[in-house]
Amino acid sequence: MGEELLRFVDEGYGVHLLREMVRIPSVVGEERELAEFLEGELQGLGFKTRLQWVEEGRPNVIALHRFSEGRTLMFNGHLDTVPVCEGWETDPFEPVEREGRLYGLGSCDMKGGIASILMALKAIMDSGMELRGTLAFTGVVGEEAYSKGARAILETELAKADAAIIGEPYTEVIPLGISGKILYELIVKGRSAHGFRPEMGINAIEEAAKILTSLDRLRLGTHPRFGRGNVCTLKIEGGYKRYSVVVPDRCRVEINRLIVPGESVETAVEDMRRLIGELGLRAEVEVRTKPPYYEPFEMSPEEPIVKVFTEAYEEVRGVKPRFHYSLSITDANVFAGEGGIPTLHLGPGGGGAHQPNEFVHLEDLKPTSMIHALTAEKFLK
């Protein structure tokens, strides 16, 4: 049966679709046009579709095809890309093919993944095969920022999906678990004084600097499969608005921390408080966290979706996928971490995600799509 289905995987359709998607800008916050485009495309494939408005002007696209009673498999992709950054050698919104690579913003992260998923959905529909259960696709807004789109999916009937596959560009090494993250916000409160008499005040920026140079003393949790999390200072602000020689009395810092299973917001905040306590600062420091928060998760290799995915992968690639536990964040933190839906990732490989000159390997589209299609066939049998 598998081979029969694979004959319907139409590479030309996928490449054409990918080119069209690159031409539709969908920088985070501006996903509407791509959502509407994909809704039309999925209707054309025979899916029942709707837009789910997550915020004004920002819809998710939801597409369902119910064969019968049974399991639900949700394919998923995020519609948004990061903003254009410096250094592009081509127009980021014009697909350019060179030596088997297709360049364009979002080509790898993750319009290529969406294209390979739609190729698989088209193959299943074109083959006319009768599966059991429901095949679904969701295209969601805002993965690159707060995952509001993915959270909105958990408010629909798809919260009960039995498994999900996200088209993120994981090709050979597939996560069976992903770290979580918290964002610390430290408010450092000093005391102002004339800048020529610094000893009379408490310099909030200098006190904040002592914390930042001591972050290696945080007790990052370790986990047998994930290893250790990490920390990264993302932002610091403080000091005068308009030039003045005043000891700054306030400084605000944001620090990202990836956490592994076993750690939580509470343990991470406690750890930061302990560190600050040990530094003997003169400033008062308030330790808070702010959104987005992501829950870590890990899956058993015995999950039904993992088993059928492994078979499908091996049938197409001739080798088993390698599984690992990844320090990163994707919408799987929402689907699996919060929603309890076993979630895998597979998408065509490429390079330059979140950088200039992003590209996807075109030759990867077809095998990726074949694995998507076979996984669906096996899971909905």
CA distance 225 to 215: 23
Minimal distance in Å, beta carbon 168 to Zn ion?
5
Instruction: Cite the DSSP H helix spans in the chain.
Output: 2-6, 11-23, 32-45, 112-127, 148-153, 204-212, 265-279, 304-317, 332, 365-379
Question: Taking contact as CB under 5 A, which single stretch among the options 10-18, 107-115, 120-128, 285-293 is the one that binds Zn ion?
Answer: 107-115
CA distance 131 to 380: 6
In the numeric block, which tokens belong to residue 376?
């669906």
Minimal distance in Å, beta carbon 348 to Zn ion?
12
331 lines the binding site for Zn ion (CB under 5 A): no
Please work out the total of residues on this chain that contact Zn ion, with binding judged by CB under 5 A.
Answer: 3
Minimal distance in Å, beta carbon 138 to Zn ion?
14
109 lines the binding site for Zn ion (CB under 5 A): yes
Nearer to Zn ion, 95 or 106 (CB): 106
Site string for Zn ion, 157-186 (x = CB under 5 A): -----------x------------------
Nearer to Zn ion, 41 or 143 (CB): 143
CA distance 212 to 218: 11
Question: Taking contact as CB under 5 A, which single stretch among the options 12-20, 102-110, 184-192, 336-344 is the one that binds Zn ion?
Answer: 102-110
Longest dimension (CA), the chain: 82
Question: Taking contact as CB under 5 A, which single stretch among the options 30-38, 59-67, 101-109, 178-186 is the one that binds Zn ion?
Answer: 101-109
Minimal distance in Å, beta carbon 178 to Zn ion?
12
Nearer to Zn ion, 81 or 289 (CB): 81
| 3-class SS of residue 216 | helix
Give counts: helices (H), strands (E), the chain. 10, 19
Question: Residue with CB nearest Zn ion?
Answer: 109
Sheet of 350-351: strands edge to edge? 96-98, 101-103, 359-361, 350-351
Q: Which of 96, 34, 33 is nearest to 356 (CA)?
A: 96
110 lines the binding site for Zn ion (CB under 5 A): yes
Residues found near Zn ion in the complex (CB under 5 A): 109-110, 168
